[in-house]
Structures are given as structure tokens and as C-alpha cells.
Chains A and B, each alone.
Chain A
């Protein structure tokens, strides 16, 4: 069912505010922009005992299977690409999304930085909000390096959204 997520990605590319998995996009339109802005600022939920919510954990996994080869483990950066723990202090959710979807090129005599467009990659696009959530938590210093020790179970909505977005 790849046509589903391609359509959905087109939506994200058009920079519809509060994109992400289809279910949350619909919710966002009903909850309004103010609530969404707060979510955007602190999209993660960390319990007092350090248990992270599913989105943060899911973002950790997806980030560290696709993005880390250039941006370094845990968003720490590498000689290849900037540390996203720093970038996320500057970038808005919309800017973040735009760069992931369309890529970014910075190639000249001094530097050869080239980020590919991930807009057609379900491993990234179906988890874009999760990755954002995780990186925001890293950037805000509330989640440390490495794998979060404890995480909330996968909520049924997340499983459904994943199924719908990833297809097969």
C-alpha cells in the first residue's frame, strides 16, 4: 500500500502544520494551533523515573538506524554532518521537516555536505514525528546518550498508524 504514504508525504511536503502519522495530523486540526505549538516545543514525555514515552523511544530507534551514519550516534554529530542536538535548538518543526523531506546541499570548495531527500522513505517519513520528538528530547538535555533504559509500551494507535503508513 505504498500509494498511501506517498500521498501522505505530499501532504507533509506542502508543509501542513503538525504532520506526522495520519492519525495525529487529523487530531491536530481539531485541537488547534496553540496546543500543537506546545507539543512542538516539548513533544516528549519523560516520567520522573526516566521512562520515556513510545514516540521518544521509537525516534531513538529510527534515528539510530538511518540518520546516525552521518549525524553521529544519538544526534551527537560527526565529521560528516552537524550535531542535531545543536541544530534542534534553532530549527522549528517546519524547518526540520522541510530539510528531511527535501534534503539539503552545501557543496563548495571548502565543504562537501549533502543530505539526501528522505521524502519517499517510509522508514523516515512514517516516524518523522518520533524522530523529531527524540531529537528534541536530546537537544533539551532530558534524554542522554545511548538507548533509553526504560520506555512506555507501544500504544495501539502507534501500531495502527505504523501499519497504515508502512504498508505490506
Chain B
């Protein structure tokens, strides 16, 4: 039987926490309890394991067709709205893109605004955000709401009053460092990653003390071992120690200092193993010829000890990236059987189009298969070496600078971007919002200037040859690496999914539909057109005996400003894309939260 992390493990984890931190209860104790309460939605991905699953079943596959809008709320911000609201006790916390407004809505008073926080941020940060001024949500712990602002500041707000408790500065936006990711709160730490891979920023994850905001540890993605918190003897890659200078050896000169590997995606946490999981992004620049070597540890899954930050294992999915296939997508932690054996798994749908299943304790690679049949840059992944078998025709390195490599699938957006998947322990399946987009990619020489774009390639994107849909919503079996079903969508599915015990799976579309489908078959059961395109994540909670579904709409993000604008005119250069109408024919900007429930 597939299941979530075993309940017995929590006893051990709590006991461990007590011995480490003395008698004082940690935020973790509280959150370990809260994440099990389906009435609330206490972390962006639903639980530490990143499953985006709810035990609530009042809304089920038979009655979901009757769903109605209960209430709506405008954020007053026009940009792309990623992430989703949290529900803790009587309060719902809603965030917005730049200027990163946070609202606390009192659900006991019909959603009255209990407090509002709007930081003053230098507008100079706007143009150094590569792909819209998005923010993927706030986190909760220790009676505080944590906001990772665009200007890299991590702010702790009193959850009751919105008063600033402490502020920490993570990076320097004048060098292109920005904040877009949702924090992870575990034990007495608040963890955040950074953004800015298109500006030659060096990636890192930093842990801050939950009480004071003081930095506890920082782990870089590239550079000397001690700054990466990598132990050459103890940190392993596919079971073997990584050895000394594992990153430095894979870069030319000092390039690792501007080598990217930013950490702007999602983090998961296993309290039993005390390990935090996340991925690093693309190496800078997008021109592979300019940065010879494997560019470690960009494009890598990291497993780190929560307390010390030391890396237990690493796995680089796309060595020497040639296509901008960031490795930052969510890490789903599940316990499932493989070949009849119970395994502690990590499942990751990478931008590069492969769905990876690893042993999350050891980093052993168990399954790596294409989750979009269109993927063509590699034929397969060797499970022993972990290396992709690249197809020369689609290698922008082999074809060289100033050559337009054509027909590469997936496009730089990836077969999936940050939009997080869901996992149902009832079906044992993963529900994955995907992009079905290919590209032409031409790299060329660029120079680095601090705080300026450092890209070095031009791209055209279009659906796979002979196809019309730019996205699919799929169900995936991670134990075998097979697609169970696939629902075509006219545009990329850029919204985080939600699976529930009611055998319904929810997701949003770029045109603005909230959709409910049957978890077993993918059959559409319900749809409603929200005020704008959805790039937010669907959440659920229960209040006074009623289950609610909540989602932020507000088109934007990379999908909204790049792809969407690219679909406006019929041209030979854009191929089949010309057959589409513009996304702007379906939707316009504007941030609104829509909350659904069943009629009385």
C-alpha cells in the first residue's frame, strides 16, 4: 500500500528534536501536528513531504460538479500570482507579487482584513527579476508568517498582528539577486533559496534562526567544498564520495562565482531522516560553450542535514546544461513499493523532461523516464552513472555558438516548471501539470556585468511538430515511470495541482479555468472561469463543517509574459504556434483569490 510518511516516525522525530533543543518545544513540533490537520493548509505544499494532498472528502468526484463560488478577494496587484493561500486557525494568509503585499483574512469574520503588510521595496528590483515579479507564497511557524521579499529580505511577521518581528537580508539585488521562493520552516530554522540565474548570481540556500533571524548556515551550489557544506569523504553522489573540489574541478577558473545554480524552487523535509531536499538551477550563462565542464553542482538534487546544512548526497541531473533545464522543481517524498520492496522515495519531475525516482536516504537512482513523450534531447538516463544519453543533433554545445539548434524538446520552460505536482496515497499516482513545448535555441557570446542580464541565447518556442496543445495534465506512476493518463490543454499548465481523498484532482489553466478531474481517469468533472489566468496553486481547507477550495488567479510569470505574448501572430518562424489565438484573447491581468464550496 502506498502511504505517506509513517506516523510512528513522528514520535522518533519529536524525541530527537527534544534531545537536541532541550525541553523547549520547536516550531517543528507544532507544524508536525498542524500538517496532519486537513482542516488547515499550513505550508505551501500542504505538508513537509510536498504532496499537495488533502484527506478532506466532502467534495468528491460525484458532487464536485455542483461546486460554487463562495467568496472572492482581490489582491490589488496586476502581476503574475504564483503560490497560494495558507489557512491557520481562523486566519487565511494571502500574498501578492511585487510589492509583496500580505493580507491576513479573518475567516471567523467573513474574511475581514485583520491586517495588511506592504513592504517598501526599491523599484530597481523589478527589472532584475527575470520572469515576472512573482512570489510563491509565505510560510508559517512559531506564531509568525515568513515572507521572502523580491529584494531578498526575509521578514518575520507576527501572525496575529502583522507586526515585523525581525528582518534578515539574504542578498544584494544590485547584483541581480532576488527572492521569489516560499520559505520552509522546520525545527528552529527558516530556510530560503535565491533567484537570479539569468544575472550570473551564485546559488545558495540559507537557514535563519526562527526567533532572531540570525543566519545559522549557508550552503552554496558552486565553489569550494567548505562553502557548499560538502564533505568530500561523506557526501555521496550515486553512492560514491564526491571527493575533493567536486565543484571547482568542473568550472574554468573563477566562473563558478557567477555560475548560477540558484535555488528558487520548492523545498521538502523528512523529519525522520532530518534531511531537507531541494534542487539547483541552470548554470550561467545559457551559452554552454562559454563555460566548459560539468558545472557542478548546478542542476542538482541536494539532500542536506537540516541542523548543519551538510550535504548527505547530491545528484546532478543535467551536467553541463545546454538548454536551461533548471533542477529546482519540487521534491515529492513518498513511501512506495518498488519491485515488491518498501522504499523511501523522492520523486522529482525535472525541467529536462525526465521523471526521477530516487531512494531519498541514499540518493540511489531507481527510475528515470520521460514524462512527456515529446522529450528528445536525450534518449534515456543511465541508472548506474546517472548520465543522460544525449542526442547530438539537439546539443547546443555540439552544434556550437551562433548556430540555431532546432526542434529541441522540451523548451527552456521545461516539460514542467515550478508548478508543483500532487500525490494521492489513495491511487499511488502523481498528478503533474506539464508544458508540451519545443524550441529553437541559438547560443552566442556574452559578457558578465554585475546586476545585468547574463543570458547568451535566443529562443523560439512552439508545440511539438504536428500537435496543437502546449500543455498536458498527466497522472504518473513513479514506481514504473509510466504515464497513466494524459489530458491535453491548449496552453501550458502552470498551476500547482491538488489531490484529495474525494478522488478529485484540481488544477488551474492559463485561460483561467479551475478544473476538477477524476483521479482515476482524468475525466473532467467541473470547470469554472476565474477572473484571470491561473498560475497559482490550488489549496483546500475545512471550516464549520464545510470544505473549501481556494486558488489565486492572475496571469503572468514566464508563461504569461513570454509564451503568451509569443502566440499573438501567425508567422512562419513560429510554426504551428500561429494556429493559436493569443492568450490575451482569453484573459487579462489581475490578482484575485476565488474560494469554492458546495451549495447548502
Any chain B CB within 8 A of the CB of A90? no
Any chain B CB within 8 A of the CB of A166? yes
Any chain A CB within 8 A of the CB of B571? yes
Interface set, chain B 436-458, CB cutoff 8 A to A: 440, 442, 444-447, 449, 451-458
A–B complex contacts, Cβ < 8 Å, 30 sampled: A64-B459, A65-B453, A65-B456, A65-B457, A66-B453, A68-B562, A69-B561, A69-B562, A73-B562, A74-B566, A76-B565, A80-B132, A107-B123, A114-B124, A114-B127, A116-B452, A118-B452, A120-B452, A121-B453, A123-B452, A123-B455, A144-B569, A146-B460, A146-B571, A147-B404, A148-B573, A149-B573, A154-B402, A162-B445, A168-B447
- The answer to whether A146 touches B574 (Cβ under 8 A) is yes
Q: How far is the CB of B199 from chain A (nearest CB, A)?
A: 11
Given A123-B447, A124-B452, A162-B445, 12 extra CB contacts under 8 A? A65-B446, A66-B455, A69-B130, A79-B78, A79-B560, A80-B561, A114-B124, A114-B126, A115-B127, A116-B452, A144-B569, A144-B573
**Nearest-CB residue, chain B, relative to A80:** B561
- The answer to whether B452 touches A60 (Cβ under 8 A) is no
Chain B residues within 8 Å of A168, by CB: 447
Q: How far is the CB of A51 from chain B (nearest CB, A)?
A: 14
Q: How far is the CB of A106 from chain B (nearest CB, A)?
A: 9
Tell me which of A66, A78, A105, A123 contacts B565 (CB under 8 A).
A78
Q: How far is the CB of A55 from chain B (nearest CB, A)?
A: 15
Tell me which of A78, A105, A166 contacts B561 (CB under 8 A).
A78
Query: In the complex, A144→B459 CA distance in Å?
Result: 16
Chain A residues within 8 Å of B404, by CB: 147
- The answer to whether B132 touches A73 (Cβ under 8 A) is no
Chain B residues within 8 Å of A144, by CB: 569, 571-573
Any chain A CB within 8 A of the CB of B594? no
- The answer to whether A123 touches B446 (Cβ under 8 A) is yes
Query: In the complex, A148→B458 CA distance in Å?
Result: 12
Query: In the complex, A70→B559 CA distance in Å?
Result: 13
Any chain B CB within 8 A of the CB of A43? no
- The answer to whether A61 touches B458 (Cβ under 8 A) is yes
- The answer to whether B447 touches A73 (Cβ under 8 A) is no
Any chain B CB within 8 A of the CB of A82? no
Any chain A CB within 8 A of the CB of B103? no
Q: How far is the CB of B200 from chain A (nearest CB, A)?
A: 11
Interface set, chain B 113-153, CB cutoff 8 A to A: 123-124, 126-128, 130-132
Question: Which 10 interchain pairs have the tightest Cβ spacing?
Answer: A146-B573, A64-B458, A121-B452, A145-B571, A122-B447, A72-B565, A65-B455, A116-B127, A114-B123, A78-B561
Any chain A CB within 8 A of the CB of B242? no
Chain B residues within 8 Å of A65, by CB: 286, 444, 446, 453, 455-458
Any chain A CB within 8 A of the CB of B83? no
Any chain A CB within 8 A of the CB of B589? yes
Q: How far is the CB of A68 from chain B (nearest CB, A)?
A: 7
Any chain B CB within 8 A of the CB of A112? yes
Query: In the complex, A78→B560 CA distance in Å?
Result: 9
- The answer to whether A121 touches B456 (Cβ under 8 A) is no
Known A69-B130, A78-B561, A121-B452: A60·B458 in contact at CB below 8 Å: yes
Query: In the complex, A110→B557 CA distance in Å?
Result: 20
Interface set, chain A 142-168, CB cutoff 8 A to B: 144-149, 154, 162, 166-168
Chain A residues within 8 Å of B167, by CB: none
Interface set, chain A 120-134, CB cutoff 8 A to B: 120-124
Query: In the complex, A51→B141 CA distance in Å?
Result: 60
Q: How far is the CB of A165 from chain B (nearest CB, A)?
A: 9
Any chain A CB within 8 A of the CB of B98? yes
- The answer to whether B568 touches A123 (Cβ under 8 A) is no
- The answer to whether B449 touches A121 (Cβ under 8 A) is yes
**Nearest-CB residue, chain A, relative to B454:** A123
**Nearest-CB residue, chain B, relative to A121:** B452
Interface set, chain B 274-306, CB cutoff 8 A to A: 286
Q: How far is the CB of A132 from chain B (nearest CB, A)?
A: 17
Query: In the complex, A115→B127 CA distance in Å?
Result: 6
Tell me which of A64, A76, A148 contacts B568 (CB under 8 A).
A76
- The answer to whether A147 touches B458 (Cβ under 8 A) is yes
Known A116-B128, A121-B449, A147-B404: A79·B556 in contact at CB below 8 Å: yes
Query: In the complex, A62→B455 CA distance in Å?
Result: 10
**Nearest-CB residue, chain A, relative to B128:** A116
**Nearest-CB residue, chain A, relative to B584:** A79
- B442-485: contact bitstring with A at CB < 8 Å (1 yes, 0 no)? 10111101011111111110000000000000000000000000
Q: How far is the CB of B545 from chain A (nearest CB, A)?
A: 41
- The answer to whether B571 touches A73 (Cβ under 8 A) is no
Query: In the complex, A107→B120 CA distance in Å?
Result: 13
- The answer to whether A112 touches B127 (Cβ under 8 A) is no
Query: In the complex, A58→B447 CA distance in Å?
Result: 16
Tell me which of B98, B459, B561 contacts A112 (CB under 8 A).
B98
- The answer to whether A147 touches B453 (Cβ under 8 A) is no
Chain A residues within 8 Å of B442, by CB: 61, 147
**Nearest-CB residue, chain B, relative to A122:** B447
Query: In the complex, A162→B130 CA distance in Å?
Result: 26
Chain B residues within 8 Å of A124, by CB: 452
Interface set, chain B 409-451, CB cutoff 8 A to A: 440, 442, 444-447, 449, 451
Query: In the complex, A80→B565 CA distance in Å?
Result: 11
Chain A residues within 8 Å of B128, by CB: 116
**Nearest-CB residue, chain B, relative to A115:** B127
Known A64-B459, A66-B455: A72·B573 in contact at CB below 8 Å: no
Q: How far is the CB of B569 from chain A (nearest CB, A)?
A: 5
- The answer to whether A69 touches B131 (Cβ under 8 A) is yes
Query: In the complex, A76→B458 CA distance in Å?
Result: 16
Tell me which of A112, A148, A166 contacts B126 (CB under 8 A).
A112
Q: How far is the CB of B461 from chain A (nearest CB, A)?
A: 9
**Nearest-CB residue, chain B, relative to A63:** B458
Chain A residues within 8 Å of B445, by CB: 162, 166
Q: How far is the CB of A57 from chain B (nearest CB, A)?
A: 10
Chain B residues within 8 Å of A78, by CB: 561, 565
- The answer to whether A146 touches B560 (Cβ under 8 A) is no
Q: How far is the CB of B311 from chain A (nearest CB, A)?
A: 32
**Nearest-CB residue, chain A, relative to B453:** A66
Q: How far is the CB of A62 from chain B (nearest CB, A)?
A: 8
Q: How far is the CB of A20 from chain B (nearest CB, A)?
A: 17
**Nearest-CB residue, chain A, relative to B456:** A65
Chain A residues within 8 Å of B402, by CB: 154
Chain A residues within 8 Å of B560, by CB: 79
Query: In the complex, A144→B132 CA distance in Å?
Result: 25
Query: In the complex, A34→B98 CA distance in Å?
Result: 47
**Nearest-CB residue, chain B, relative to A162:** B445
Tell me which of A69, A73, A107 contacts B453 (CB under 8 A).
A69
Chain A residues within 8 Å of B460, by CB: 146-147
Q: How far is the CB of A9 from chain B (nearest CB, A)?
A: 11
